[in-house]
């Protein structure tokens, strides 16, 4: 607009049109005077200006002629500029510095708000497993991605000089994110071990042979089912993020499961020492045999690993053993019938 009025003035001068030229000169002068206010207009229109942080600096830069936000207007600023023509550049630079700070601080505020808004739509997904629930993998991956991304953003923001005004909020948010990242890591570990041990300790035989570990597992089992029931009823990630006792529950369960696993490994090792051919079997295979002592047929799939020459045993309807088969299906009958149930496995 200023350039257009300048062009018009020059054109009217060349054409010697005095009256239009005077109008153009007046408009040009008014626009030139108005341009002085553009930095001020830009500053007061800056998104994110706050009374407590920015307006105090603006009023200080403008001097004692203004004492409140409401007193900042064109007339007041015009008087300030007229009274202090040599300070106009300095005042403008100070105001632009305030605007720059306000803009960068506002971006940090919006980043924090954006992160919290993102979590509003994030939910854990529970999948039915027997009489309880487990965390569904796809939802867990999404939450892990959110946590990794937001932790980086939060820690970057924490180091910004334009985020000091909200440092307490940032530190609190970072603490929640890190705590939930740790909790989720332990949660998945507990879930994996619980899934592995649940079938083992559902066996009465194992419970009788390992009473201490059995009690510990049952305690974890109850805690797990209570936790997953709550998560299934209210799966909002933000709600779960606010659960102060979640870490205690998961870490307590993890500690007990480590004791159970150690006891289980010691138990299996003792069985292998009593019958060295069990060393040919994996833990899962050995557990399948030991947890089903009343089901002799369960031993059939593992015979070839324990005894190279035995492919299978011949059982009758009462589950008594009458002989053994070689890999070539040759039957070798026993002189005496063996009753594994009477022998207690």
- Give the contacts of 76 (CB within 8 A, at least 6 positions apart): 62, 65, 66
* 46 pLDDT more than 80: no
Q: What is the pTM of this model?
A: 0.75
The whole-number pLDDT of residue 6 equals 54
For the chain, helix, strand, coil in percent to 5 are 70, 10, 20
Task: Please indicate whether residue 272 or residue 89 has the higher confidence score (pLDDT).
Answer: 272
Mean pLDDT on 201-218: 91
Q: How far is CA 16 from the centre of its chain?
A: 75
Q: How confident is the model at residue 301 (pLDDT cuts 50, 70, 90)?
A: confident
Of 22-26, 99-103, 266-270, where does mean pLDDT reach its minimum?
Answer: 22-26
Q: How confident is the model at residue 82 (pLDDT cuts 50, 70, 90)?
A: low
**Hey, what are 214's tokens?**
């059995």
Of residues 99, 89, 49, the one with CA closest to residue 69: 49
> Alpha-carbon distance 14 to 10, whole Å?
6
| Residue 258: HSE in the Cβ half-sphere, 13 Å Cα cutoff | 8
Mean pLDDT on 232-242: 92
Looking at the DSSP bridge assignments, the partners of residue 312 are 325
Count the helices and strands in the chain (H runs, E runs).
14, 5
Percent with pLDDT over 90 in the chain? 45
The whole-number pLDDT of residue 67 equals 66
Helix (H, G, I), strand (E, B) or coil at 154: helix
Mean pLDDT on 248-256: 96
| Contact present, 297 and 315 (Cβ < 8 Å) | yes
Of 63-72, 168-177, 287-296, where does mean pLDDT reach its minimum?
Answer: 63-72
Q: Is the dihedral of CA 96, 98, 100, 106 positive or negative?
A: negative
Mean pLDDT on 297-319: 85
Mean pLDDT on 80-107: 79
* 15 pLDDT more than 60: no
Residue whose token pair is 């019938």: 337
The whole-number pLDDT of residue 126 equals 94
The DSSP code for 275 is: S
Q: How confident is the model at residue 2 (pLDDT cuts 50, 70, 90)?
A: very low
If you average pLDDT over every residue of the chain, what do you get? 84
Helix (H, G, I), strand (E, B) or coil at 336: strand
């Amino acid at each position: 607009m200023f350039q257009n009025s300048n062009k018009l003035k020059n054109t009217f001068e060349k054409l010697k049109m005095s009256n239009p030229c005077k109008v153009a000169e007046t408009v040009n002068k008014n626009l030139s005077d108005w341009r002085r206010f553009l930095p001020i207009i830009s500053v007061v229109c800056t998104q994110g200006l706050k009374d407590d942080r920015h307006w105090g600096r603006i009023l200080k830069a403008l001097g004692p002629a203004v004492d409140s936000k409401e007193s900042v207007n064109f007339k007041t600023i015009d008087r300030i500029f007229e009274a202090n023509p040599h300070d106009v550049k300095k005042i403008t630079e100070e105001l632009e510095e305030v605007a720059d700070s306000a803009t960068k601080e506002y971006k940090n505020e919006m980043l924090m708000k954006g992160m919290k808004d993102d979590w509003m739509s994030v939910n854990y997904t529970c999948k039915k497993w027997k009489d309880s629930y487990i965390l569904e993998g796809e939802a867990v991956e999404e939450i892990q991605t959110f946590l990794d991304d937001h932790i980086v953003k939060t820690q970057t923001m924490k180091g910004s000089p334009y985020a000091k005004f909200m440092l307490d909020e940032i530190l609190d948010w970072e603490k929640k994110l890190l705590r939930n990242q740790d909790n989720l890591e332990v949660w998945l570990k507990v879930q994996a071990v619980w899934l592995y041990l649940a079938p083992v300790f559902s066996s009465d035989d194992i419970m009788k042979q390992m009473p201490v570990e059995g009690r510990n597992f049952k305690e974890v089992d109850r805690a797990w089912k209570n936790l997953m029931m709550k998560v299934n009823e209210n799966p909002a990630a933000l709600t779960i993020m606010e659960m102060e006792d979640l870490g205690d529950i998961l870490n307590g369960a993890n500690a007990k499961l480590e004791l159970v696993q150690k006891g289980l490994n010691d138990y299996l090792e003792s069985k292998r020492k009593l019958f060295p051919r069990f060393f040919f079997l994996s833990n899962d295979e050995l557990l399948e045999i030991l947890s089903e002592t009343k089901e002799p047929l369960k031993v059939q799939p593992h015979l070839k690993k324990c005894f190279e020459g035995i492919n299978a045993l011949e059982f009758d309807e009462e589950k008594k053993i009458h002989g053994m088969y070689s890999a070539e299906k040759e039957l070798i009958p026993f002189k005496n019938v063996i009753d594994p149930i009477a022998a207690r496995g």
